[in-house]
Amino acid sequence: MRSIDGVDLLKSLLEGSGIHAVLEDEFLLRMVPYAVPGGVKGLVRAADLGKARRIEDFIKNSTT
């Protein structure tokens, strides 16, 4: 994800679903958005990956 709003939404939904998430480069994106060309990467435990992907799919489908 590239936008700050998208990052915040993803992290909130993951944490609200009981999934601990670490957003790689989150703070760099907030300070210098163009310095993170690939966007922020969300990291979750392998055990939570399926649930996290369903949440990500929900975000993608509801924002298009």
Domain boundaries, the chain: 4-62
pTM of the model: 0.66
| Nearest-angstrom CA–CA distance, 51 and 58 | 11
Amino acid at 29: L
pLDDT at 35: 67
Per DSSP, 18 falls in state T
pLDDT at 47: 96
The predicted-structure confidence for 17-38, as pLDDT tens digits, reads as follows 999 998 887 777 677 766 666 6
